[in-house]
């Protein structure tokens, strides 16, 4: 009921009377009063005026299921939301939920991860009260060979969401990092469970540095947070909500053709590597060239002195020739 009360308070400009809430949910005054008090305990500032009712003044920076659900404006993305104060890894949890038949579009969110992972088994710094650690689980009806493009779809949605909420100049470092002023703010780890010709599920894990004031020594050069870049504290739930909306829209467009034809111009406009010299850290043979943009399959087009190369994500990392981007 807390979610529904919050939703009503959010949707009402003025006051919602206690009686309206009782009638709407078919519960007693005491039950409404208890739910309101629980919301206040969670940090919601709710004004109660005799003869008028309740009015939501402000919401705290929490990512509880109630908070996220009452904010949700999507059709189906994030239909199920599970929140954890602490978890080993949101990707691991989302995979379990997929196997327990949770629906496509289920979102797992945590305030802290004890075993957050990046690509190739690397770790993802996930301290409490600083970031968004979330995994979206989807069950797309498509060829498993096309699933890696979902990482780029997610990167585009995160970049758009951050730009919208913060007005900061978020850019994409191919294929899936989000950078602001050359610093890494977001990492994305996509994992899939599939048979030869169909996908069981895909989990898209996203770590966003929001309120970090500093980073461990080894990340100081490359990493940053929205707070460090702007001096402001943004509400994490607002970023999650904006992400869900953008991802839902892009995901549906992507599924129609199962490629990035309709999205690549938008992606290329946000690409930090575009027309920059890059070093492609291909485990087989590293090389340098000028990055030109992505193809509709999500490959990075790199022009070297000799030829034009198409780089697929997978095992490859890209660096600027003078640094991280």
Asked if residue 101 has a cis previous peptide bond (ω within 30° of 0), the answer is no
Q: Which two tokens stand for residue 263?
A: 């999205």
Residue nearer to ligand ATP on the CB measure, 56 or 179: 179
Lateral strand order in the sheet of 131-138: 81-84, 106-110, 131-138, 199-209, 183-194, 177-180, 170-173
To ligand ATP, the closest distance from the beta carbon of 207 in angstroms equals 6
Residue nearer to ligand ATP on the CB measure, 53 or 207: 207
For 303-309, which contacts have Cβ atoms below 8 Å and span 24 or more sequence positions?
Answer: 309/280
Contacts of 168 (CB under 8 A, 6+ apart): 162, 180, 226, 229, 230
Contacts of 71 (CB under 8 A, 6+ apart): 10, 237, 238, 241
To ligand ATP, the closest distance from the beta carbon of 16 in angstroms equals 40
To ligand ATP, the closest distance from the beta carbon of 30 in angstroms equals 45
Q: Count of CB atoms within 10 A of residue 323's CB?
A: 9
Residue nearer to ligand ATP on the CB measure, 36 or 149: 149
Cα 256 to Cα 137: distance, rounded to the nearest angstrom: 19
Q: Which two tokens stand for residue 149?
A: 């493009």
Residue nearer to ligand ATP on the CB measure, 98 or 180: 180
Residue nearest to ligand ATP as judged by C-beta position: 118
Asked whether 312 and 299 are in contact (CB, 8 A), the reply is: yes
To ligand ATP, the closest distance from the beta carbon of 197 in angstroms equals 28
To ligand ATP, the closest distance from the beta carbon of 250 in angstroms equals 20
Residue nearer to ligand ATP on the CB measure, 96 or 123: 123
To ligand ATP, the closest distance from the beta carbon of 111 in angstroms equals 14
Q: Given the DSSP bridges, would you call strands 317-320 and 177-180 parallel, antiparallel or unpaired?
A: unpaired
Residues that bind ligand ATP (CB under 6 A): 118-119, 122-125, 176-177, 184, 187, 189, 207, 209, 219, 223, 317
Residue nearer to ligand ATP on the CB measure, 36 or 158: 158
Residue nearer to ligand ATP on the CB measure, 39 or 109: 109
To ligand ATP, the closest distance from the beta carbon of 240 in angstroms equals 17
């Amino acid at each position: 009921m807390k979610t529904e009360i919050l939703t009503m308070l959010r949707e009402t400009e003025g006051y919602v009377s206690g009686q309206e809430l009782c009638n709407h949910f078919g519960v007693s005054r005491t039950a409404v009063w208890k739910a309101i008090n629980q919301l206040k305990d969670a940090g919601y500032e709710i004004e109660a005026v005799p003869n008028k009712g309740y009015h939501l003044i402000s919401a705290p920076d929490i990512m509880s299921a109630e908070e996220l659900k009452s904010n949700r404006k999507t059709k189906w993305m994030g239909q199920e939301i599970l929140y954890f104060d602490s978890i080993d890894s949101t990707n691991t949890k989302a995979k379990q939920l997929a196997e327990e038949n949770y629906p496509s579009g289920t979102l797992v969110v945590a305030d802290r991860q004890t075993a957050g992972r990046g690509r190739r088994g690397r770790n993802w710094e996930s301290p409490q009260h600083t970031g968004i650690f979330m995994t979206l689980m989807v069950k797309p009806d498509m060829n498993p060979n096309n699933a890696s493009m979902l990482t780029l779809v997610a990167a585009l949605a995160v970049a758009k969401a951050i730009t919208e909420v913060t007005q900061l100049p978020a850019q994409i470092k191919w294929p899936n990092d989000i950078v602001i002023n050359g610093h890494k703010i977001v990492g994305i780890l996509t994992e899939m469970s599939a048979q030869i010709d169909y996908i069981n599920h895909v989990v898209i894990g996203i770590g966003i540095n929001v309120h970090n004031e500093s980073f461990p020594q080894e990340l100081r050069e490359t990493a940053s947070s929205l707070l460090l870049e702007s001096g402001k504290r943004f509400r994490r739930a607002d970023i999650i909500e904006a992400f869900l909306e953008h991802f839902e829209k892009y995901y549906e467009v992507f599924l129609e053709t199962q490629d990035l034809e309709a999205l690549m111009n938008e992606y290329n406009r946000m690409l930090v590597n575009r027309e920059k010299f890059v070093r492609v850290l291909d485990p087989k043979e590293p090389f340098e060239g000028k990055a030109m943009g992505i193809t509709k399959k999500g490959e990075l087009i790199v022009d070297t002195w000799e030829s034009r190369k198409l780089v697929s994500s997978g095992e490859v990392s890209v660096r600027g020739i003078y640094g991280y981007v």
